Amino acid sequence: MTAIDNVSLAQRVYTVEQVQQGEEAAAEACSISMMQLMSAAGTAVFKQLQNDLKAPAKIAVCCGEGNNGGDGYIIARLAREAGYQVDVFALSPDKTLSSKTDNNAERARLAWRENGGQEKVVHDCAPQNYDLIVDALFGVGLNRALEGTAAELVQNLNDASAKVLAVDVPSGLNADTGSVPGVAVHAYKTVCLVAYKRGLLTGKAKNHVGQLVLEDLGIGEAFAKQNNAGYTRMAAEHVMNWLPLRRPCEHKGNNGHALIVGGQPGMSGAVVLAMKAALRCGAGKVSVACHPEVQPVVAAAQPEAMVRAANSQNDLQALMEQASVIALGPGLGQSEWSHKMFEWVTNYCQQSDKTLVIDADGLNTLSSQQSKMKRGKHVILTPHPGEAARLLNTDANKVESDRFAALSALRDTYEAQILLKGAGSLVTNDSGQFILDVGSPAMASGGMGDLLTGLISGLAAQGMTEADAAVAAGVWHARAGELAGNEGERGTLASDLLPYIRQLVNGKIT
Amino acid at 136: A
In sequence order, what E strands does 293-415 have? 306-309, 325-328, 355-358, 379-381
> How far is Cα 497 from Cα 443, in angstroms, rounded to an integer?
9
> How far is Cα 56 from Cα 168, in angstroms, rounded to an integer?
25
> How far is Cα 260 from Cα 455, in angstroms, rounded to an integer?
11
**Does 292 sit behind a cis peptide bond, omega within 30 degrees of 0 on the bond before it?**
no
Looking at the DSSP bridge assignments, the partners of residue 89 are 62, 120
**Does 170 sit behind a cis peptide bond, omega within 30 degrees of 0 on the bond before it?**
no
Confirm whether residue 228 is marked as ligand binding: no
Local structure of 449: helix, strand or coil = helix
Confirm whether residue 135 is marked as ligand binding: yes
**Per-residue DSSP letter, 44:** H
Of 452, 462, 456, whose CA–CA distance to 257 is shortest? 462
Confirm whether residue 71 is marked as ligand binding: yes
Confirm whether residue 481 is marked as ligand binding: no
Confirm whether residue 423 is marked as ligand binding: yes
Confirm whether residue 168 is marked as ligand binding: yes
Confirm whether residue 254 is marked as ligand binding: no
Confirm whether residue 141 is marked as ligand binding: yes
Contact 307, 299 (CB under 8 A): yes
Angle at CA 141, nearest 5°, toward 65 and 424? 130
Name the phi and psi angles at 180, rounded to 5: -125, 95
Confirm whether residue 398 is marked as ligand binding: no
Longest dimension (CA), the chain: 85
Taken in order 489, 491, 495, 496, the sign of the CA dihedral is negative
Confirm whether residue 142 is marked as ligand binding: yes
Confirm whether residue 450 is marked as ligand binding: yes
Confirm whether residue 139 is marked as ligand binding: yes
Confirm whether residue 69 is marked as ligand binding: yes
Beta carbons within 10 angstroms of residue 351's beta carbon? 8
Local structure of 289: helix, strand or coil = strand
Confirm whether residue 143 is marked as ligand binding: yes
Confirm whether residue 386 is marked as ligand binding: no
**Rg of the chain in Å (alpha carbons):** 26
Confirm whether residue 68 is marked as ligand binding: yes
> How far is Cα 366 from Cα 410, in angstroms, rounded to an integer?
12
Element holding 278 (H helix, E strand): helix 268-280
Confirm whether residue 437 is marked as ligand binding: no
Confirm whether residue 425 is marked as ligand binding: yes
> How far is Cα 291 from Cα 264, in angstroms, rounded to an integer?
5
Amino acid at 254: N
> How far is Cα 231 from Cα 146, in angstroms, rounded to an integer?
28
Specify whether the backbone of 376 is left (phi greater than 0), alpha (psi in -120 to 50) or beta.
Answer: left
Looking at the DSSP bridge assignments, the partners of residue 136 are 63
Contact 501, 280 (CB under 8 A): yes
Confirm whether residue 377 is marked as ligand binding: no
Confirm whether residue 424 is marked as ligand binding: yes
Beta carbons within 10 angstroms of residue 280's beta carbon? 24
Amino acid at 406: A
Confirm whether residue 137 is marked as ligand binding: no
Bind-site residues for AMP: 421-425, 449
Bind-site residues for (6S)-NADPHX: 67-71, 139-145, 168, 270, 331, 384, 450
Bind-site residues for K(+): 68, 135, 171
Bind-site residues: 67-71, 135, 139-145, 168, 171, 270, 331, 384, 421-425, 449-450
